[in-house]
Amino acid sequence: MMTAREQAKAVGDAVLYEGYLLYPYRASAGKNKVRWQWGVLMPPSFASDDTGEYADSHTECLLEPGSHTTLHVKLRFLQAQARIVQERDGDGYRTVDSLSVGHTEYTTWDEAVEREIDGVFRAADLLAGRVELPFDVEGSEDVEDLGVGRLLRRTQMLTGTMTVGLDSLDGPFGGVRLRVDLKNTSTWTEPGATREQALHHALLAAHLVLSVDSGHFLSMLEPPEWAKPAVEACVNVRVWPVLIGDNFRSEAMLASPIILYDNPAIAEESQGELFDGTEIDEILTLRTMTLTEDEKRQARATDPRAREIVDRVDSMPQELLDRLHGTVRYLRAVTGERSDPDADLRELTDITAKPDMPWWDPGADASVSPGTDSVVVAGIAVANGSKVRLRPELKRADAQDMFLTGLVATVRAVLSDVDGDRYVAVTLDDDPGADLQTTHGRFRYFSPDEIQPLEVTE
């Protein structure tokens, strides 16, 4: 099982390469001609409110430190690396878009180099005053000889500062507010520069992994009651602090340029990076399988990471593809001991035996019984078979649900989501296709506060 810090790095890797290269994974695709969308900290000379380009970010979150806490701040980002393809031309070289060498093709393209900057601070020092940590990354140039040509890889020098501080919270509960300012201080400037040029002097997908050796961070989404006013006073600019390893408190926090829920994790079924966490792995894998051989050739020539994706998909066995098709997670944990050791078996048998619920797989989660679970509404237990009148919440409902206001429906199941919130699945009584929908498990879903038992409405 991963530690919180290991989980933070795994999620951070996904953030680092989100949008790095999108399907169909070739440089000629329009979507891959506009690069680096998340966590871009430009050099100050290119930053502008008018264009939405910025050189800095600001993070604030809450921490309950121990008596001798040490704070670890790890800055992670990508640095653009120009890969220039050059063909031999007499005694010199000329730059070309692509070059074939044997069975391998190379394309001029901006790769990326992973960078990490580590800062270690004593909490006592940070409470005494803010600490600034300057950093720099030297530029480089590397040449790879291809015989008929060469690859020239070049990076530019980057400089920046990370400023860290702690402020004690008012009140009797203790705790501190952590502030981290990150800024690109690169001095590069060029009048009329394009965004593509400026990106070579930028911190790309910049994010912070925060951790403590004693004490813990508090959730910004579900803080304890005493901490809510302090959380509301926190200011976060271009990053959002996400708790890692738990939903309430943990030793690790990820300050991400992409807003995430607490305790994000990489799905066990994922076979590798696809650079688009907003998509479904199965869909992207199947799409990649449909690429023509020429398209695959172009993708392999674009980037070594694209080559790895295409090769992985080409060699993926059926059983691994099947794993991507779908996995049912446990919806809620079973706590306490059952007084009847055969209760689970009898409950599953009852569900399976119900002819009106063939869509439910009781093996998915033995703690959930849509056919027998109930929820109390207006003092009345509502369960499978109950008659209710629909009262959709207008602020939450979509346009279709709004037209259902006042209609009578039959509850077919009571379900829980991963957060433990309850929902009722219903079919409309005046819908001639209700029986067919029930057979296939296709329902309309409402929160308990959006229904009224018919006994109450009549």
Range(s) of the domain holding residue 433: 344-457
Least confident of 7-16, 202-211, 235-244, 419-428: 419-428
Same domain, 65 and 153: yes
Q: Are residues 171 and 305 in the same domain?
A: yes
The stretch 248-252 carries a mean pLDDT of 94
Boundary (domain end) residue, out of 271, 291, 323: 323
Count other Cβ atoms within 10 Å, centred on residue 399.
6
- Greatest mean pLDDT among 29-33, 41-45, 426-430, 432-436 lies in 41-45
Same domain, 316 and 390: no
pLDDT at position 82 is 96
Which residue carries 């077919």 as its tokens? 412
Band (pLDDT 50/70/90 cuts) for residue 277 is: confident
DSSP letter at 130 equals: -
CATH of residue 415: 2.30.30
Query: Does residue 109 contact residue 83 with C-beta atoms inside 8 Å?
Result: yes
State the average pLDDT over residues 31-45.
92
pLDDT score at 333: 45
Highest mean pLDDT among 3-17, 155-169, 408-422: 155-169
> Is 205 a domain residue?
yes
Characterize the bridge pairing of strands 215-218 and 92-95.
unpaired
Residue 332 placed within a domain: no
Q: Which amino acid is at 325?
A: H
Cα torsion 245, 248, 252, 258: sign: positive
- Stretch 348-356: mean pLDDT, rounded? 37
Answer yes or no: is 408 within a domain: yes
Residues 249 and 390 in one domain: no
Strand partners, 163: 132, 181
Contact 355, 372 (CB under 8 A): no
| Average pLDDT for the chain | 86
Q: What is the pLDDT of residue 140?
A: 96
Phi-psi region of 187 (alpha: psi -120 to 50; beta: other; left: phi over 0): alpha
Question: Is residue 337 one of the residues assigned to a domain?
Answer: no
Pair 278, 392 in one domain: no
Q: Is the pLDDT of residue 262 over 60?
A: yes
Tally of domains in the chain: 2
Q: Is residue 407 predicted with pLDDT exceeding 60?
A: yes
Q: What value does the mean pLDDT take over residues 425-435? A: 89
Q: Are both 222 and 297 inside the same structural domain?
A: yes
* Res 184 pLDDT > 60: yes
Most confident of 264-278, 328-342, 371-385: 371-385
**pLDDT mean over 206-212:** 97
Burial of 47-80, coded b for 16+ CB within 10 Å and e otherwise, reads beeeeebbbbbbbbbbbbbeeebbbbbbbbbbbb
Residue 454 pLDDT > 60? yes
What pLDDT sits at residue 103? Answer: 86
Instruction: At 356, list the tokens.
Output: 């009106």
Whether residues 254 and 125 fall in one domain: yes
Do 309 and 400 lie in one domain? The reply is no
pLDDT at 335 over 50: no
If pLDDT is split at 50, 70 and 90, which confidence band does 394 have? low
126 and 172 part of one domain: yes
Tell me, what's the pLDDT at 357? 54
Written as six digits, the tokens of 108 are 């001029």
Is the pLDDT at 345 greater than 50? The verdict is no
Which two structure tokens, joined as six digits, stand for 8? 């933070």
Lowest mean pLDDT segment, chosen from 15-29, 258-272, 286-300: 258-272
Instruction: Provide mean pLDDT across the span 196-213.
Output: 96
Residue 255 φ then ψ, to 5°: -90, 100
DSSP state of 197: H
Mean pLDDT calculated for residue range 237-262:
94
Least-confidence region, from 48-57, 137-146, 313-322, 440-449: 313-322
Residue 395: what pLDDT?
Answer: 59
| Pair (244, 358) in one structural domain | no
CA atoms of 364 and 415, how far apart (whole Å): 13
| Residue from 375, 345, 343 nearest 363 by CA | 345
Question: Domain for residue 334, yes or no?
Answer: no
Q: Over 90: is that where the pLDDT of 355 sits? A: no
Whether residue 335 is contained in a domain is answered as: no
Same domain flag for 45 and 192? yes
Of 218, 262, 259, nearest in space to 237 by CA? 259
312 with 349, same domain: the answer is no
Looking up tokens 């999620």 gives 11
Taking the CA atoms of residue 183, residue 188, residue 194 and residue 197 in that order, the dihedral angle to the nearest 10 degrees is -90
pLDDT above 80 for 40: yes
- Domain assignment present for residue 338? The answer is no
What SS3 state is found at 56?
strand
Of 262, 290, 323, which closes a domain? 323
CA pair distance 136, 234, nearest whole angstrom: 29
Band (pLDDT 50/70/90 cuts) for residue 336 is: very low
**Which pLDDT belongs to residue 458?**
55
Q: How far apart are CA 269 and CA 266, in angstroms?
A: 9
Confidence of residue 291 (pLDDT cuts 50, 70, 90): very high
Q: Is the backbone peptide bond immediately before 24 cis, with ω within 30 degrees of 0? A: yes
For residue 420, being part of any structural domain is answered with yes
Range 220-238 average pLDDT = 95
- For the residues 423-434, what does the mean pLDDT come to? 90
Q: Is the pLDDT of residue 457 over 80?
A: no
pLDDT(282) > 60: yes
**178 vs 422: which has the higher pLDDT:** 178
